[in-house]
Amino acid sequence: MDNRLLKDNHAFISFLLDVKLMIVFINETEDHISTVINRLFHDLSYDYKDLIAGIGANQSTIFNIKNSYTQAIKVLDLIKKSVIKKPIFLYNELNFLKLLLPMNDLDALRDYKNEKLYQLEKYDELNNTKYLQTLECYLNNNCSINQTAKELFVHRNTINYQISRIAQILDKNLASFKTRCDLYLAIQIKYYLEVC
């Protein structure tokens, strides 16, 4: 691996720490680091299965490297717990999830999640449906019926029906931007709480 990085003229330091390979890049952008890590993963995937990488944010000085390490470890934990569904992820891509990481009041988060999603979770449990999964896919696809149907491998009329049922179950107007934001946030909190 070191030879591959040297061949591409990257300034870096690598070492093992607690069975984790640590690579510290020097004067590289996050986009470039992500590209390099993706290439390394591609090269190593033939010999190693289930590789994951958490990439901490760039730091202005070597003295702040601990921050980047801590961020990378948090990302790795989220990947392992399937909160993040990609094997390579940058801390700065966490967006608002960064706000949840230091939060200690899990009861407040749980209350918010239950307030928004409880009825749908209960309905799925009692009726053996996957409406929460449909809702998440729908929100992740900018509320596109066609894209959601494509991703879930079902007909668009099925998604139309399911979205209509979800709105009824939650007693919410899914055309409302605020409602969509609340539900998206509640789903992200649900995944976050599964990690804690």
Cβ count near 67 (within 10 Å): 13
For residue 182, give the nearest of 129, 98, 100, 114 by alpha carbon: 114
d(CA 120, CA 114) in angstroms, rounded, equals: 10
pTM for this model (two decimals): 0.68
Virtual torsion, Cα 142, 124, 118, 137, nearest 10 deg = -10
Tens digit of pLDDT at every position of the chain (196 positions): 545 544 556 677 777 777 777 788 877 888 888 888 888 888 887 777 778 888 888 887 878 888 888 888 888 888 887 777 788 888 888 877 787 777 778 899 999 999 999 999 999 999 999 999 999 999 999 999 999 999 999 999 999 999 999 999 999 999 999 999 999 999 999 988 887 7
d(CA 139, CA 128) in angstroms, rounded, equals: 21
Q: Angle of helix 131-140 relative to helix 156-170, nearest 10 degrees?
A: 110
Question: Which CATH superfamily, name and number, covers 106-195?
Answer: PucR C-terminal helix-turn-helix domain (1.10.10.2840)
User: Residue 169: what residue type?
Assistant: I
Question: In the chain, where are the structural domains located?
Answer: 2-93, 106-195
